[in-house]
Amino acid sequence: TWVKENVATSRSLVATQSEAHEMKGKTILITGGSEGVGLELARQLVENNKVIVCGRSQEKLDTAKSQLPSLIVRRCDVTDPAQRQTLIESVVADFPGLSVLLNNAGAKTLTPTLPFDAAARRQDFALNFEAAVELIDLVLPHFLSRPDAMIVNVTTGLVYVPKAGQAWYCAAKSALSSVTRSLRWALRNTSVSVVEVALPVVATAFHGEEPASGAMNADLAARQMLDALDNGSVHIDIGKSRLARFVSAFFPVGSLRFINK
């Protein structure tokens, strides 16, 4: 009985948050949208939506704008509290139809797990966790006034199998994953859907100049993400992230040994 009740509750939650995911005719804010997966998402969304992207580099924003003339660009370092607040206030004022926040901005530091690197820890958590959560906090009052809205948090397959050399990045994304699930439950009876997308290794500058072995193309990763959103998914594992989730569940020790070899 307990199992049946919980399965029914889970299905109800998914159904409640699956109705407003079709990405057409929406006003969308994408953080980290001037390059990589964020730019590919903007490229695929801009024809049927009003898309605003933000990033730290004005040069990269200008390049994105030249590629996609209808794109709306805003310069913002999302790790800066004042800039975050200005971004959300200005976007809501200029585009009151804003209904999707896509927390895509992210970066990682490559440091040994030991000795602890306090600067790397603060840097990784500031961008990969705190910025996303604070942006949600700022935009949520507006989203709750909308007939439908959606928060999409981009995490990584490494939340399932963390790498020792990227400990703080993995920890920050794991924290964001946990908050995403809690927030989805907390907002289950509202008009706001909450989605997590766990990306695999994607061939972008995020991983340095040399593409990682077996990396997925950014356009394919973006396309699969948007297809899953259109289908109403609230938890989306892209590419090898699906495998990471499976092996971590059934082979927890072996999966950690493999990813850290």
DSSP state of 165: G
Q: Which of 125, 160, 169, 206 is catalytic?
A: 169
Here the tokens at position 8 are: 């029914």
For the question of residue 160 being annotated catalytic, the response is no
Interatomic CA distance for residues 20 and 75, integer angstroms: 29
- Is the CB of residue 40 less than 8 Å from the CB of residue 102? no
Q: Which residue has the tokens 């100049």?
A: 209
Burial class (CB in 10 A: 0-12, 13-18, 19+), 121: middle
Residue 225: in which H helix or E strand, if any? helix 218-230
Q: Which of the residues are catalytic?
A: 169
